[in-house]
Amino acid sequence: MDAAYDIAMEHTEPEADSGTSVVAVEDVHKAFAGHKVLDGISLHVARGETVAVLGRSGTGKSVLLRLIIGLETPDSGSICIHGQDIAGLAMDRKGEIRKRMGFLFQHAALYDSLTVAENVAFPLEHHRRDLSRSERGDRVMQLLAEVGMERAVDKMPSDISGGMQKRVGLARALALEPEILLLDEPTAGLDPISSGEIDDLILKLQRERQMASIVVTHDLHSAKAIANSLALLDQGKVVIEGKFEELQDSDIGFVKEFLKQS
């Protein structure tokens, strides 16, 4: 096995009370302009559990994450976060739930007019007004140190590489100490070494913080390294869900083909 992925063996198992899902997606359908993207998808994630959502491009993996954080509304079905359906809520009520979630966008989506430190400070400035300026500064430095970006504090997003942007995006996603972490293609477009570093970072954070995480990726190695279980999507449905070994043992043609090509 590749050394970069040895850390995968250090998976922490989800907590024993995982019967209560932190994230519960039930029979969700979503279509855009008549094109069906998600067709009755269900997914449950418990505290401390990491689920990797795999699949070909355009199978609705990112849409699933956007639905979970409420950036899109499902056509039917329910998405419960801590037992509360996020779909029908007003924006400010959704905001209360989102404070407990962190989202890493595929292209990091850093605010290009703010420095690295200001990007990480952004959620704190809006939601932790109880913190003094220096306390916020210390927290930002701590988060940036956690992702190994403490030396890029004053740089602009355009001045750092894609991998570094993802690290900063991860620090921003962790700023409010979320209980749920959503990662959209955290290693896409990165070289193998940077990918391995991001995977190690995610695993470290999982061990330390025990968050419920959903990682959307089409990088099977990365998924194997960071996730407790894998869900494979095809044509808007979960084809199979389970540990990597279960996917390997599957007789389903699409699963075999996907594993072979990955």
Partner 1 sequence: MSDRQPIVVAGTHPTLAGQQTISIPTALEFVGRTANGFFEWFGDLGIFSWKVLCAALTPPYEWRELVRQLDEVGSMSLPLVAAAGSAIGIVISMEARYSLSRFGAKSMFSTTLVYSVIQVMGPIMTGLIVSGRVGAGIGAELASMKVTEQIDAVEASAINPYRLLAATRILACILMLPLLTLAADACGLLTGWFAQAMVEPLSFHQFVESGFKGSKLNDFLPPTFKTAVYGLIIGLIACFQGMRTRGGAAGVGRAATNSVVLASLFVILADVVLVKFILVFFP
Question: Is there a contact between 181 and 212 (Cβ–Cβ < 8 Å)?
Answer: yes
Does 122 bind partner 1 (CB under 8 A)? Our answer is: yes
Q: Which is nearer to partner 1, 100 or 209 (CB)?
A: 100
Q: Is residue 130 at the binding interface for partner 1, with CB under 8 A as the rule? A: no
Within 31-90, which residues bind partner 1 (CB under 8 A)?
66, 69-71
Residues 35, 21: Cα–Cα separation, whole Å: 30
With residue 3 as reference, give the H or E element that holds it: none
Q: Does 103 bind partner 1 (CB under 8 A)?
A: yes
Could you say which residues in the range 179-238 bind partner 1, by CB under 8 A? none
101 scored as a contact of partner 1 (CB under 8 A): yes
Segment 144-173, which members bind partner 1 (CB under 8 A)? 172
Exactly one of 92, 130, 245, 251 binds partner 1 (CB under 8 A); that residue is 92
CA atoms of 168 and 201, how far apart (whole Å): 12
> Among residues 208, 147, 152, which one has the least CA distance to residue 172?
147
* 22/112 Cα distance (integer angstroms): 32
Q: How far is the CB of 203 from partner 1 (least distance, A)?
A: 23
98 touching partner 1, by CB under 8 A: yes
- Could you tell me if 112 and 156 are in contact, meaning their C-beta atoms sit under 8 angstroms apart? yes
Residue 93: Cβ within 10 Å count: 13
Residues of this chain that interact with partner 1 (CB under 8 A) are 66, 69-71, 91-92, 94-96, 98-99, 101, 103, 105-107, 109-112, 122-123, 126-127, 172, 176
